[in-house]
Structure 1
Amino acid sequence: MAKEVVPETARRRRRPTKQGVVLTERLIVETALRMLHEHGPEGLRVRRLGMALGADPSTLYRYFRGTDDLTLAIADELIGRAMNGWQATGHWRADLRDLGLRIYSAYLAHPEAAVLTASRVSGRGNEIATDETILGVLRSAGLPDPDVVRIYHAFIDQTLAFAALDAASLALPEAARTADEAVWQATYARLPAHTHPNIAATAPLLVARMNDSAYPTALDMLLDHVATTLTAAKTTDPGP
């Protein structure tokens, strides 16, 4: 038998914590985001969170079944932040590009949380609403449903994969990240043409480009594919 979902108003701690605040699910998630940024994965320890909130750690179990449940709530919060204020323009390409960049940017704003959550499927409200929106944009463009699902799959996985990849770099210690970025100039740009002709020929371009994210380029390539698919669908559909 499914466990009854208790509304947040019924779960909320009625008395203020030692810091004079009333606990809510949103406050816990926001505090967890801050703790992840400050302490990495250690920030999701129940005891550490309880201390940051000025509450008994056991109180958190009134809101979440455990740290994994909290992780899913964080994932949903990031998606919600991405969609906050978004408005459709009615132009499928502009809307999809904006949605992709919004989701990518929301995750990169919290790189430690992005590494932890980008691979998760929360099944929560913000995630479901976002999926409904993306599928709606693709269907409104006139794509057949099999193409809608195929492209949606590639679109969301590409966005989250790049978010996780680039967030992992941002989450590195500054010295390690700086050292990684220097490799293109310090190593690749110095490889001789007689041993590495292709690298040597493109070295200036590699140095100029490779420390930037490839996500915008990959996103445009995907959108080009959508446009091609739409053209093909219109060509093969004789219409009424």
Structure 2
Amino acid sequence: MADRVVPEGRRQRRRPTKQGAVLSQELIVETALRLVAQHGAEALSVRRLGAALGADPSALYRYFHNTDDLLLALADELIGRAQEGFTATGDWRADLREIGHRVHRQHQSNPQAALLAAHRTTGRTHETLAVESILGILRGTGLPDPLAVRMYHAFIDQALAFAAQDAAAAALPPPAQEADLQVWHAVYGHLPADTHPHIAATFPLLAADMRGSGYPFALELLLDAIAMRVAEVGRGE
């Protein structure tokens, strides 16, 4: 796409597309997410989006500077969907847990988009609201600002890193997913105790645990660490 986006107030296309829809930024993002889910990164092209929308590809210039601008909009949309319906309870641990799981679940629901967007910083409406909300929860615990910021950094990077890793696994074709899981039995299940005593001793537990995401437990470990720091601050340490 060329860098000639139209200002927001003048960007709406008045005539319906061939599918009978009026083109909008929201419609383009929704369509792009659907195409990315079906075809991966190559779906983010003017030609494919225009065809899916029933619009001239050049019409997309009115809404996005380029494909990277559109990708940032997709990333922000995932963040926004993760926040839909969330209401803080005042229990910082419960609220952070809920936000973390929402972010992780939303990216797992859109694994192809998560692979493209989980590592991006959008600076857009949904992201800035999420940053404000999480920082507010952390500062509300009494943590000093330098520590609240570091905890925010650890919290959101943990959620997005697991989201990206688990999305990569979810985006694999089913035969590849099953083959990866079978490695635990085909290889690790046959390692002898004399050379790999710890794997041999824990293998049944290891094979079972590796079938799911490590995020829920990792999140609890981080929440425990935050609770420890909150307690230290409360004691004046």
Structure 2 CA distance for aligned equivalents of residues 107 and 212 of structure 1:
15
TM-score, normalised via structure 2 length: 0.96
Cα distance per residue 1:126-151 (max 9 Å; x no partner) = 00000000000001111111110000
Structure 2 CA distance for aligned equivalents of residues 55 and 178 of structure 1:
40
Structure 2 CA distance for aligned equivalents of residues 55 and 5 of structure 1:
17
Unaligned runs of 5+ in 2: none
One-letter amino acid of the structure 1 residue matched with residue 167 of structure 2: A
Cα distance per residue 1:143-175 (max 9 Å; x no partner) = 111110000000000000000000000011111
In structure 2, the partner of 1:144 is: 144
Structure 2 CA distance for aligned equivalents of residues 183 and 149 of structure 1:
40
One-letter amino acid of the structure 1 residue matched with residue 105 of structure 2: S
Count of aligned residue pairs for this structure pair = 234
In structure 1, the partner of 2:67 is: 67
Offset, 1:235: 1.2
In structure 1, the partner of 2:218 is: 218
In structure 2, the partner of 1:90 is: 90
The answer as to 2:13 corresponding to 1:6 is no
In structure 2, the partner of 1:164 is: 164
Contact 2:6–2:61 (CA under 8 A) maintained in structure 1: no
The answer as to 2:204 corresponding to 1:207 is no
Give 3-state SS (helix, strand or coil) of 2:147's partner: helix
Give 3-state SS (helix, strand or coil) of 2:107's partner: helix
In structure 1, the partner of 2:54 is: 54
Give 4+ residue runs of structure 1 displaced > 6 Å after superposition: none
In structure 2, the partner of 1:124 is: 124
Structure 2 CA distance for aligned equivalents of residues 227 and 52 of structure 1:
49
Offset, 1:185: 1.6
Percent identity between the two aligned chains: 59
Structure 2 CA distance for aligned equivalents of residues 108 and 46 of structure 1:
26
TM-score, normalised via structure 1 length: 0.95
Give 3-state SS (helix, strand or coil) of 1:221's partner: helix
In structure 2, the partner of 1:24 is: 24
In structure 2, the partner of 1:189 is: 189
In structure 2, the partner of 1:112 is: 112
Q: 1:163 to 1:181 in 2, by over 3 A?
A: same
Structure 2 CA distance for aligned equivalents of residues 52 and 141 of structure 1:
48
Structure 2 CA distance for aligned equivalents of residues 36 and 177 of structure 1:
20
One-letter amino acid of the structure 2 residue matched with residue 80 of structure 1: G
Give 3-state SS (helix, strand or coil) of 2:235's partner: helix
Offset, 1:37: 0.8
Contact 2:29–2:73 (CA under 8 A) maintained in structure 1: yes
Q: 1:206 to 1:53 in 2, by over 3 A?
A: same
Structure 1 CA distance for aligned equivalents of residues 46 and 200 of structure 2:
52
One-letter amino acid of the structure 1 residue matched with residue 115 of structure 2: V
Structure 2 CA distance for aligned equivalents of residues 4 and 44 of structure 1:
17
Cα distance per residue 1:199-228 (max 9 Å; x no partner) = 101100111101210001110000000000
Offset, 1:4: 9.8
Structure 1 range deviating more: 196-205 or 182-191: 182-191
Contact 2:92–2:138 (CA under 8 A) maintained in structure 1: yes
In structure 2, the partner of 1:180 is: 180
Q: 1:218 to 1:60 in 2, by over 3 A?
A: same
Structure 2 CA distance for aligned equivalents of residues 236 and 87 of structure 1:
31
Offset, 1:10: 2.2
Offset, 1:21: 0.7
Unaligned runs of 5+ in 1: none
